[in-house]
A and B are shown apart, each in its own frame.
Chain A
Amino acid sequence: MKKIFTLLCSAVFALTASAQVEFVVDDKVVEDGATITLHPSMIELAPGFELVDGMIKAPYIKNTDTEAGKLTVKVVRADMSHHFSWCGITTACSPMSGMSESRSAVVPAGEMVALDLHPEFEDGVYATYSATVTASLGGASRTININYVYSENMGVEGTLADADAVRVAGKTLNFRFATPGVRTVAVYSTDGRKVAEGRVGDAGNLNLSHLQNGVYLYQVQGGKSGKVMLK
C-alpha cells in the first residue's frame, strides 16, 4: 500500500511538474513574483501631432512543456484609472472595462505568445500604469507585476522590450539586435534632416553628443524606427 501511494504521489508530481509556463522579456525568464518596468514609444503621426502609444508586446509567455496546453492569462490592473487595451492571447483587441480580465488560448509546446497589454496613456499626462499578470498552464502558474511608465525622461531607461532593443542613456543610443549583423542607423531631426548616421553591430552604440536636447527619429536600415528624446 505504501509503495502504491508513493508511486501515485510521484505520478501526480510528475504530471504537475511537467506543465510549465514562464514569462520572457528580452529572451530572459522573469522570476515568479518579479516586477518589471516597461516604457511606451512616442510616435509623431504628423507635424505637431504626437501620440504616446504603449504598443509593447512583451512580456512573452512561453509553454515550456513538451505538449500543447491551454494557457490562461489573467490581468488585474492596479487601479481603474490605469487604462489598458489588451490585444494578446486571443485575436481580439479591446479596452479593459473591468478591474480584471482573463483570456485563454492553446499554445503549442515550446511556443511563446505575446501578452500585448497596452497602456492607454494620455498624451502629455505622465503616469505609471500597473497590472498584475498571472499565466496558468496545466497545474503551473506564474505571476509578475508590470509597471508601464510614461515620463518626460522617457528613453533614459527606455527599453522597447522586443527581440531588438533600443535604449537611450544620456545622448547615446544603445542597440541590441536578436540576429547577428552590422546595421546602418540614421538619426533624423523632426523636420526630416539626417543629423547622424553610424553602423552598429549586434550590440552597439551610436554617440549623439553633438546633438542638442530634443526629440529625434532613428531608423535602422531595413528594420525598426522609433523616436527618442535626448536630454
Chain B
Amino acid sequence: MKNFFHILSICAIALFCGCETIDEADRFVGPVEFTPKKNVLIEDFTGQRCLNCPIASEAVKSLQDLYGKEHVIAVAIHGGSMSMPSSNGVGLATPTGEAYNKHWGIDSWPKGLVDRNAANPAGGATNYTSWAAQVIQRLVEEPKVDIAVSNATYDKDSLKLNIAVDLAAKEKINGHVQVWIIENNIVGYQVMPDGAHNMAYTHNHVFRAAVNGEWGEPLTLGKNDKTTVQYAVDLSGEKWVPENLAVVAFVYNEKEGVLQVVEQHVH
C-alpha cells in the first residue's frame, strides 16, 4: 500500500510537470473574431404548428445578431406537415414552400439548409443546433459573384413591385439566379415550445413567392462578366404589406451550393 501511494505521488508530479507554460498573449480568451467574406443563406423549414420551431427562429436571430443581418440571411419556408395553409385565414404555407419541403425531403421540423447544403453536402437538411458551425464555415469563403439588388421599389399606383438585380462574376459561374420575396413582421398564430397557442407571434423573413420560377433561371457568366435581371411583380391580388417586404436574391449551383446571397428591403 505504501509503495502504491509512492507511485501515485510520482505520477501526480509527472502529470503537473507535463503542462506547458503558455504565454499570456497566446492564451485563448474567447470566440475568434473574423470579418465575413460572403453572405450565407439559411433556409429555415418551419411551421406554425411546430412547437420547436420558435427555438430555431431564435437560433437564427442569434446568428444574425452575432454576424450581422446583412451577412446571415434567413428565409422561413412554410409548407410542410407542421405548417398551416393560407386557406384557413392565418396560414403561411405556399405551394412553392410545399414543393421546397418535398424536394429537400423535409420530414421533421424545424430543419434547415445552410447555403443549400454547401457545408454539409451528404447530410441533408439539419437540426438548428448544427447551423452555427455551418454558417461560420461559409462566412469565410470567398464569394465567386457579387450581387446587388439595385431596385426594389413598390409602385402604389400600378401595385407592382419592381426589382433589378445586378450580378458581377468574379470567376466563371454556372448555376441559377433565384429571386424571392419575403415578408417581415407578420403577426399571427404560432404554437410555442410550452404548448401555448400564441395568436400574436411575430413571424419574420417569411417566404412569400419565387419571382423567377421555383428554382430560378439558368445563369452562365465568364470571369468579370456582368448582367442585370429585372422583374415587375403584380401584388394586386396579394395580402402582403409592401412596407414589410424584402427581396432575397442568390446564385447557386448543385455542386457548390449558394455562391452569394443578398437581401434588400422594399421601398
| Cβ contacts under 8 Å, A87 to chain B | 50-52
Given contacts A48-B89, A87-B51, 15 further A-B contacts (CB under 8 A): A45-B89, A45-B199, A49-B88, A49-B89, A55-B51, A55-B195, A91-B55, A92-B108, A92-B111, A93-B49, A93-B51, A93-B52, A93-B109, A93-B110, A94-B108
Distance A117 CA – B261 CA, assembled complex (angstroms): 38
Distance A87 CA – B109 CA, assembled complex (angstroms): 9
Per the 8 Å Cβ criterion, residues 195-229 of A in contact with B are: 224-226
| Cβ contacts under 8 Å, A159 to chain B | none
Distance A114 CA – B108 CA, assembled complex (angstroms): 18
B127 at the interface (CB under 8 A from A): yes
| Cβ contacts under 8 Å, A114 to chain B | 195
A157 at the interface (CB under 8 A from B): no
B53 at the interface (CB under 8 A from A): yes
Distance A41 CA – B199 CA, assembled complex (angstroms): 14
Residue contact B195 to A56, C-beta cutoff 8 Å: yes
Distance A85 CA – B53 CA, assembled complex (angstroms): 14
Distance A219 CA – B127 CA, assembled complex (angstroms): 35
Per the 8 Å Cβ criterion, residues 23-41 of A in contact with B are: 41
Per the 8 Å Cβ criterion, residues 89-144 of B in contact with A are: 89-90, 107-111, 127-129
Distance A49 CA – B199 CA, assembled complex (angstroms): 13
- Size of interface on B: residues with Cβ below 8 Å to A: 28
Q: Which residue of A lies closest to B106 (CB)?
A: A94
A-B contact count (CB 8 A): 72
Distance A91 CA – B199 CA, assembled complex (angstroms): 22
A74 at the interface (CB under 8 A from B): no
Interface string of A90-116 (1 = CB under 8 A from B): 011111000000000000000000101
Distance A213 CA – B205 CA, assembled complex (angstroms): 42
Per the 8 Å Cβ criterion, residues 169-200 of B in contact with A are: 189, 191, 194-197, 199
Interface string of A38-79 (1 = CB under 8 A from B): 000101011011010101110000000000000000000000
Residue contact A45 to B109, C-beta cutoff 8 Å: no
Distance A226 CA – B52 CA, assembled complex (angstroms): 21
- Smallest Cβ distance from B157 to chain A, in angstroms? 30
Q: Which residue of B lies closest to A224 (CB)?
A: B196
- Smallest Cβ distance from A35 to chain B, in angstroms? 22
Distance A46 CA – B84 CA, assembled complex (angstroms): 13
B64 at the interface (CB under 8 A from A): no
Residue contact B88 to A162, C-beta cutoff 8 Å: no
Pick the contact of A94 from B81, B127, B129 — CB < 8 Å? B81
Q: Which residue of A lies closest to B129 (CB)?
A: A91
Pick 10 A–B contacts, CB within 8 A, sort by A.
A45-B90, A49-B89, A49-B90, A51-B88, A55-B191, A56-B195, A87-B52, A91-B52, A92-B110, A116-B51
B82 at the interface (CB under 8 A from A): yes
Q: Which residue of B lies closest to A86 (CB)?
A: B108
Residue contact B195 to A162, C-beta cutoff 8 Å: yes
| Cβ contacts under 8 Å, B242 to chain A | none
Distance A94 CA – B125 CA, assembled complex (angstroms): 14
Q: Which residue of A lies closest to B192 (CB)?
A: A55
Interface centre among A43, A87, A93 (most CB of B within 10 A): A93
